[in-house]
Amino acid sequence: MIVPIALKPDLAEAHANAGNILAALGRHEDAVARYDRAIAARKDFVEVHVNRGNSLRLLGRLEV
């Protein structure tokens, strides 16, 4: 089932999917913002942490 973010703004999977699409388009700043929303909704979402790290790496923002 596809649920729009507008209907369930705390649905981590929706934000993760949006982040993946933005990253694929090369919009990594926007992707990181979506990944942050996904992580806020579900802290244990490992795949999103990895994807966020990849976007940050591509932005040259290797935070420790």
**8 Å CB contact between 45 and 12:** yes
pLDDT digits (tens, 9 = 90+) for 4-61: 777 888 899 999 999 999 999 999 999 999 999 999 999 999 999 999 999 999 999 9
Check residue 12 and report its DSSP letter.
H
Domain extents in the chain: 12-58
CA distance 19 to 5: 12
- Would the pLDDT of 64 be above 80? no
**Residue-level pLDDT at 3:** 63
